Amino acid sequence: MSFCPFCKKKISMSKAFCSKTCKENYFDLIAIQIPKPFVKRIYIFCNEYEREEEIIKFAKLHNWKLDLLKSKIKKVAAKMGYEDDPSVRNSIVESCYED
């Protein structure tokens, strides 16, 4: 058995993705590039409401799906230290010990 790269469901070995939407979301998520100054600006200078508005404007500007953009921003923010995400924190700690 194999797993879908986007949703992690079990799929047969002959398939790459479990559905067409998973395939589209996977490649859309890869295409999303978040500039670090944008993340810094929305986490330092904006409150929760303003941050949500900025993310919505950014999604409309680049024609990206809002839910994918939010998940990507959370990952980038966690790597930059603005949000606490245990999975990202563990990967950063592990990469420090690999050197």
Please tell me whether residues 49 and 84 are part of one structural domain.
yes
**77 and 55, same domain (yes or no):** yes
**One domain, residues 42 and 15:** no
Q: Provide the angle, in degrees to the nearest 10, between the axes of the packed helices 66-80 and 86-98.
A: 50
Tokens 């929760």 belong to residue: 48
**Statement to judge: residues 52 and 66 lie in one domain:** yes
Q: Please check whether residues 15 and 45 belong to one and the same domain.
A: no
What is the span of the domain harbouring residue 6? 1-31
76 and 49 share one domain: yes
The DSSP result for 62-88, as a single string, is: HT--HHHHHHHHHHHHHHHTSS--HHH
pLDDT in tens, the chain (99 residues): 789 898 989 988 888 899 999 999 999 999 999 999 999 999 999 999 999 999 999 999 999 999 999 999 999 999 998 887 655 555 555 555 554
- Predicted TM-score (pTM) of the model is 0.76
C-alpha of 17 from chain center: 19
Q: Are 26 and 41 contained in the same domain? A: no
Please give the Cα distance from 36 to 98 (Å, whole number): 25
Q: Whose structure tokens read 């404007």?
A: 57
